[in-house]
Protein backbone atom coordinates (compact mmCIF):
# COMPACT_ATOMS: atom_id res chain seq x y z
CA UNK A 1 0.00 0.00 0.00
CA UNK A 2 2.71 2.40 0.96
CA UNK A 3 4.99 1.31 -1.87
CA UNK A 4 2.34 2.21 -4.46
CA UNK A 5 2.29 5.78 -3.11
CA UNK A 6 6.08 5.84 -3.35
CA UNK A 7 6.00 4.62 -6.95
CA UNK A 8 3.42 7.31 -7.75
CA UNK A 9 5.67 9.98 -6.24
CA UNK A 10 8.64 8.61 -8.18
CA UNK A 11 6.80 8.73 -11.49
CA UNK A 12 5.58 12.28 -10.89
CA UNK A 13 9.00 13.57 -9.84
CA UNK A 14 10.67 11.87 -12.80
CA UNK A 15 8.06 13.48 -15.07
CA UNK A 16 8.80 16.85 -13.44
CA UNK A 17 12.50 16.39 -14.15
CA UNK A 18 11.88 15.43 -17.81
CA UNK A 19 9.59 18.45 -18.27
CA UNK A 20 12.34 20.60 -16.75
CA UNK A 21 14.74 19.28 -19.40
CA UNK A 22 12.38 20.59 -22.07
CA UNK A 23 12.04 23.89 -20.19
CA UNK A 24 15.82 24.35 -20.30
CA UNK A 25 16.46 23.05 -23.82
CA UNK A 26 13.30 24.23 -25.62
CA UNK A 27 14.41 26.11 -28.70
CA UNK A 28 11.52 28.57 -28.75
CA UNK A 29 9.60 30.50 -26.09
CA UNK A 30 6.25 28.70 -26.78
CA UNK A 31 7.99 25.34 -26.20
CA UNK A 32 9.19 26.59 -22.83
CA UNK A 33 5.72 27.86 -21.93
CA UNK A 34 4.22 24.45 -22.80
CA UNK A 35 6.79 22.83 -20.51
CA UNK A 36 5.93 25.31 -17.74
CA UNK A 37 2.21 24.59 -18.12
CA UNK A 38 2.99 20.88 -17.86
CA UNK A 39 5.06 21.49 -14.71
CA UNK A 40 2.19 23.41 -13.08
CA UNK A 41 -0.17 20.47 -13.73
CA UNK A 42 2.48 18.09 -12.38
CA UNK A 43 2.76 20.19 -9.22
CA UNK A 44 -1.01 19.97 -8.75
CA UNK A 45 -0.76 16.19 -9.06
CA UNK A 46 2.16 16.01 -6.62
CA UNK A 47 0.29 18.10 -4.04
CA UNK A 48 -2.78 15.85 -4.38
CA UNK A 49 -0.70 12.69 -3.91
CA UNK A 50 1.09 14.31 -0.97
CA UNK A 51 -2.24 15.09 0.69
CA UNK A 52 -3.12 11.40 0.32
CA UNK A 53 0.27 10.29 1.67
CA UNK A 54 0.03 12.49 4.77
CA UNK A 55 -3.73 12.18 5.23
CA UNK A 56 -4.12 15.95 5.32
CA UNK A 57 -6.86 17.05 2.89
CA UNK A 58 -6.12 20.72 3.62
CA UNK A 59 -3.37 20.61 0.95
CA UNK A 60 -6.05 20.31 -1.74
CA UNK A 61 -6.74 24.05 -1.30
CA UNK A 62 -3.15 24.71 -2.37
CA UNK A 63 -3.73 22.55 -5.45
CA UNK A 64 -6.82 24.61 -6.38
CA UNK A 65 -4.88 27.88 -6.11
CA UNK A 66 -1.92 26.46 -8.05
CA UNK A 67 -4.19 25.29 -10.90
CA UNK A 68 -5.64 28.82 -11.08
CA UNK A 69 -2.21 30.50 -11.07
CA UNK A 70 -0.86 28.10 -13.69
CA UNK A 71 -3.73 28.84 -16.04
CA UNK A 72 -3.33 32.59 -15.60
CA UNK A 73 0.42 32.36 -16.22
CA UNK A 74 -0.04 30.36 -19.41
CA UNK A 75 -2.65 32.74 -20.78
CA UNK A 76 -0.49 35.76 -19.95
CA UNK A 77 2.54 34.21 -21.67
CA UNK A 78 0.43 33.38 -24.75
CA UNK A 79 -0.94 36.91 -24.90
CA UNK A 80 2.48 38.52 -24.77
CA UNK A 81 4.03 36.04 -27.23
CA UNK A 82 1.31 36.90 -29.72
CA UNK A 83 1.44 40.66 -29.22
CA UNK A 84 5.05 41.26 -28.41
CA UNK A 85 8.11 41.66 -30.59
CA UNK A 86 10.20 38.51 -30.48
CA UNK A 87 13.66 37.76 -31.88
CA UNK A 88 12.64 34.93 -34.23
CA UNK A 89 9.69 36.77 -35.78
CA UNK A 90 10.14 37.60 -39.43
CA UNK A 91 10.45 41.33 -39.87
CA UNK B 1 -11.61 -1.96 -1.40
CA UNK B 2 -12.10 1.74 -2.07
CA UNK B 3 -8.58 2.34 -0.73
CA UNK B 4 -6.95 -0.02 -3.23
CA UNK B 5 -9.03 1.40 -6.08
CA UNK B 6 -7.95 4.92 -5.13
CA UNK B 7 -4.29 3.85 -5.03
CA UNK B 8 -4.61 2.29 -8.49
CA UNK B 9 -6.25 5.48 -9.79
CA UNK B 10 -3.40 7.59 -8.35
CA UNK B 11 -0.82 5.33 -9.99
CA UNK B 12 -2.65 5.41 -13.32
CA UNK B 13 -2.84 9.20 -13.26
CA UNK B 14 0.87 9.48 -12.47
CA UNK B 15 1.61 7.07 -15.34
CA UNK B 16 -0.35 9.22 -17.78
CA UNK B 17 1.49 12.36 -16.66
CA UNK B 18 4.82 10.55 -17.01
CA UNK B 19 3.92 9.53 -20.57
CA UNK B 20 2.95 13.15 -21.29
CA UNK B 21 6.36 14.34 -20.12
CA UNK B 22 8.11 11.76 -22.33
CA UNK B 23 6.08 13.08 -25.28
CA UNK B 24 7.08 16.61 -24.28
CA UNK B 25 10.74 15.73 -24.76
CA UNK B 26 10.54 13.35 -27.70
CA UNK B 27 8.13 15.16 -30.03
CA UNK B 28 9.82 17.23 -32.72
CA UNK B 29 7.66 20.34 -32.82
CA UNK B 30 5.73 22.68 -30.46
CA UNK B 31 2.26 21.74 -31.69
CA UNK B 32 3.02 18.01 -31.40
CA UNK B 33 4.38 18.52 -27.89
CA UNK B 34 1.12 20.24 -26.97
CA UNK B 35 -0.77 17.32 -28.50
CA UNK B 36 0.98 15.00 -26.07
CA UNK B 37 0.87 17.17 -22.95
CA UNK B 38 -2.54 18.87 -22.83
CA UNK B 39 -4.66 15.74 -23.22
CA UNK B 40 -2.75 13.36 -21.01
CA UNK B 41 -2.20 16.05 -18.38
CA UNK B 42 -5.94 16.64 -18.10
CA UNK B 43 -6.60 12.90 -17.90
CA UNK B 44 -3.78 12.39 -15.38
CA UNK B 45 -4.92 15.11 -12.98
CA UNK B 46 -8.52 13.93 -13.39
CA UNK B 47 -7.59 10.38 -12.38
CA UNK B 48 -5.47 11.59 -9.46
CA UNK B 49 -8.31 13.78 -8.15
CA UNK B 50 -10.74 10.86 -8.50
CA UNK B 51 -8.33 8.80 -6.43
CA UNK B 52 -8.12 11.53 -3.78
CA UNK B 53 -11.93 11.78 -3.61
CA UNK B 54 -12.21 8.01 -3.14
CA UNK B 55 -9.41 7.91 -0.59
CA UNK B 56 -10.77 10.44 1.91
CA UNK B 57 -14.43 9.34 1.60
CA UNK B 58 -15.73 12.74 2.64
CA UNK B 59 -18.30 14.80 0.75
CA UNK B 60 -16.54 18.15 1.22
CA UNK B 61 -13.24 16.79 -0.05
CA UNK B 62 -14.93 15.06 -2.99
CA UNK B 63 -16.52 18.38 -3.96
CA UNK B 64 -13.15 20.13 -3.64
CA UNK B 65 -11.37 17.65 -5.88
CA UNK B 66 -14.27 17.74 -8.33
CA UNK B 67 -13.85 21.53 -8.42
CA UNK B 68 -10.20 21.09 -9.43
CA UNK B 69 -11.20 18.63 -12.16
CA UNK B 70 -13.96 20.89 -13.54
CA UNK B 71 -11.65 23.91 -13.45
CA UNK B 72 -8.91 21.99 -15.26
CA UNK B 73 -11.28 20.55 -17.87
CA UNK B 74 -12.58 24.03 -18.66
CA UNK B 75 -9.25 25.91 -18.66
CA UNK B 76 -6.79 23.44 -20.24
CA UNK B 77 -8.34 23.67 -23.73
CA UNK B 78 -8.40 27.47 -23.52
CA UNK B 79 -4.75 27.67 -22.48
CA UNK B 80 -3.71 25.13 -25.14
CA UNK B 81 -5.60 27.03 -27.82
CA UNK B 82 -3.98 30.33 -26.86
CA UNK B 83 -0.47 28.86 -26.73
CA UNK B 84 -0.91 27.02 -30.03
CA UNK B 85 -2.23 30.13 -31.71
CA UNK B 86 0.58 32.27 -30.31
CA UNK B 87 3.20 29.69 -31.37
CA UNK B 88 1.84 29.44 -34.90
CA UNK B 89 1.40 33.18 -35.40
CA UNK B 90 4.81 34.03 -33.98
CA UNK B 91 6.37 31.87 -36.68
CA UNK B 92 7.80 28.98 -34.70
CA UNK B 93 9.03 26.49 -37.33
CA UNK B 94 6.93 23.39 -37.91
CA UNK B 95 8.37 19.90 -38.25
CA UNK B 96 10.09 19.13 -41.56
CA UNK B 97 7.74 16.22 -42.25
CA UNK B 98 4.57 18.34 -41.87
CA UNK B 99 2.25 17.34 -44.73
CA UNK B 100 -0.39 20.06 -44.72
CA UNK B 101 -0.60 23.53 -43.23
CA UNK B 102 -4.09 24.78 -44.01
CA UNK B 103 -3.55 28.22 -42.53
CA UNK B 104 -0.43 29.08 -44.50
CA UNK B 105 -1.07 32.21 -46.48
CA UNK B 106 -4.71 32.40 -45.45
CA UNK B 107 -4.36 34.44 -42.27
CA UNK B 108 -3.65 38.13 -42.48
CA UNK B 109 -1.44 39.14 -39.56
CA UNK B 110 -2.23 42.84 -40.00
CA UNK B 111 -6.02 42.73 -39.95
CA UNK B 112 -6.38 39.34 -38.12
CA UNK B 113 -8.83 37.99 -40.67
CA UNK B 114 -8.98 34.49 -42.09
CA UNK B 115 -9.67 34.21 -45.79
CA UNK B 116 -10.61 31.10 -47.74
CA UNK B 117 -9.30 32.73 -50.88
CA UNK B 118 -5.76 32.14 -49.78
CA UNK B 119 -4.05 33.18 -52.95
CA UNK B 120 -4.61 36.90 -52.58
CA UNK B 121 -3.02 37.14 -49.15
CA UNK B 122 -0.27 34.65 -50.03
CA UNK B 123 0.72 36.57 -53.14
CA UNK B 124 0.53 39.83 -51.20
CA UNK B 125 2.79 38.41 -48.48
CA UNK B 126 5.26 37.09 -51.03
CA UNK B 127 5.27 40.45 -52.80
CA UNK B 128 5.75 42.16 -49.45
CA UNK B 129 8.61 39.90 -48.39
CA UNK B 130 10.43 40.35 -51.71
CA–CA separation, B73 vs A29, rounded Å? 25
Q: What is the pLDDT of residue B101?
A: 78
ipTM of the shown complex: 0.86
- Top pLDDT among B128 and B32 is at B32
Are A49 and B7 inside 8 Å of each other by CB?
no
- CB-based contact A8:B44 (threshold 8 Å): no
Q: Which of B34, B41, B79, B129 to mutate to test the interface with A (most CBs of A within 10 A)?
A: B79
Which chain A residues are closer than 8 Å to B78 by Cβ? 71, 75
Question: Which residues have C-beta within 8 Å of that of residue B125, sequence separation ≥ 6?
Answer: B105
Q: What is the pLDDT of residue B91?
A: 77
Average pLDDT estimate for B93-117: 76
Q: Is the pLDDT of residue A71 over 60?
A: yes
Q: Which of B24, B60, B61, B126 to mutate to test the interface with A (most CBs of A within 10 A)?
A: B24
Give B84-103 pLDDT, tens digit per residue. Answer: 988 888 878 888 888 887 77
SS3 B114: strand
From the list B71, B69, B70, the residue with the least C-alpha distance to B51 is B69
Specify burial of residue A29 (Cβ count, 10 A radius: 0-12, 13-18, 19+).
Answer: buried
Amino acid sequence: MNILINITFGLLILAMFIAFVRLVRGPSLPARVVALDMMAALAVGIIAVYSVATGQPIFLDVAIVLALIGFLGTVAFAYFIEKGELPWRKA
Amino acid sequence: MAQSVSLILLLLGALFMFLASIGLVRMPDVLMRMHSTTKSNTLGVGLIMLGVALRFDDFAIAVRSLAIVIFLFSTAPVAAHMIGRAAYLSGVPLWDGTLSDEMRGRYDLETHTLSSRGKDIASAQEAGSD
